[in-house]
């Protein structure tokens, strides 16, 4: 059966989905606003312990700061990038990457709102841990399809200099992130909560360092 929607209508509805995900935390915050105390926890250390409080109105800035910049950057990136043709050639995969990133950011905001409001039985580190694990799993699956650009991906001097190095580095980085995400998911189920954020940070950064080193070695090998 053929779709009744024109390409422009389809594009509009797809963009509306991402925009809706970006603003969803606003509606949740509105729904719990009256029940929030005037002073709420707004910052946690690496062990998940509250080390900062603020007026509840600061939650609006959390939503704005975390969602708006990335939404706008990725919306206009195909026109802003010096390698805009590469971004455009990604087609549907670029849209899916945008969708994954926006889901991740909104999930982070929801985790903060839930922890600040006390509406979750799970700790902040557990909530954030699951957000990061599923982001790594989803984004890692598409990392190999990211084309050369100056805004997104593993941007080392060697990946930006050579397209083959970029491609192979991102293929490796994607596999490493998926593997790390699976390990992270297992550790989330067995580790005490105060270890979670430390482990997640390690699982995110070590593969990226490994991929960066690989890009240098590969660049030297092929040039």
pLDDT digit string (tens) for 77-130? Answer: 887 766 677 887 788 899 999 999 999 999 999 998 988 887 777 788 889 999
pTM for this prediction: 0.86
User: If you write DSSP's letter for every residue of 159-205 in order, what string do you get?
Assistant: HHH-HHHHHHHHHHHHHHHHHHHHHHHHHHHHS-GGGHHHHHHHHHH
pLDDT at 221 over 70: yes
pLDDT at 156 over 50: yes
The better pLDDT of the pair 159, 91 is held by: 159
- Cβ contact 182:137 at 8 Å: yes
What does the pLDDT read at residue 150? 84
How many CB atoms neighbour CB 205 within 10 A? 11
Question: pLDDT class for 45, splitting at 50, 70, 90?
Answer: confident
The H or E element that residue 37 is part of is none
Q: How far apart are CA 216 and CA 210, in angstroms?
A: 10
What does the pLDDT read at residue 90? 84
Q: Which of 40-44, 73-77, 177-181, 182-186 has the lowest mean pLDDT?
A: 40-44
Question: pLDDT class for 1, splitting at 50, 70, 90?
Answer: very low
């Amino acid at each position: 059966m053929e779709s009744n929607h024109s390409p422009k209508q389809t594009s509009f509805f797809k963009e509306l989905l991402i925009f809706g995900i970006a603003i969803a935390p606003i509606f949740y915050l509105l729904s719990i606003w009256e029940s929030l105390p005037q002073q709420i926890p707004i910052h946690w250390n690496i062990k998940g312990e509250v080390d900062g409080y603020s007026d509840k109105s600061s939650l609006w800035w959390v939503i704005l700061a975390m969602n708006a910049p990335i939404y706008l950057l990725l919306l206009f990136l195909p026109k802003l990038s010096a390698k805009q043709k590469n971004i455009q050639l990604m087609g549907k995969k670029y849209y899916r990457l945008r969708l994954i990133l926006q889901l991740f950011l909104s999930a982070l905001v929801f985790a903060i709102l839930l922890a600040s409001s006390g509406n979750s039985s799970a700790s902040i580190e557990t909530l954030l841990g699951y957000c990061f694990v599923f982001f790594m799993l989803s984004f890692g699956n598409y990392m190999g399809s990211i084309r050369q650009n100056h805004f997104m991906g593993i941007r080392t001097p060697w990946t930006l200099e050579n397209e083959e190095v970029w491609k192979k580095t991102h293929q490796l980085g994607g596999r490493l992130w998926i593997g790390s995400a699976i390990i992270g998911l297992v550790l989330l189920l067995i580790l005490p909560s105060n270890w979670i954020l430390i482990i997640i940070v390690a699982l995110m950064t070590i593969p990226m360092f490994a991929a960066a080193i690989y890009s240098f070695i590969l660049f030297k090998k092929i040039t």
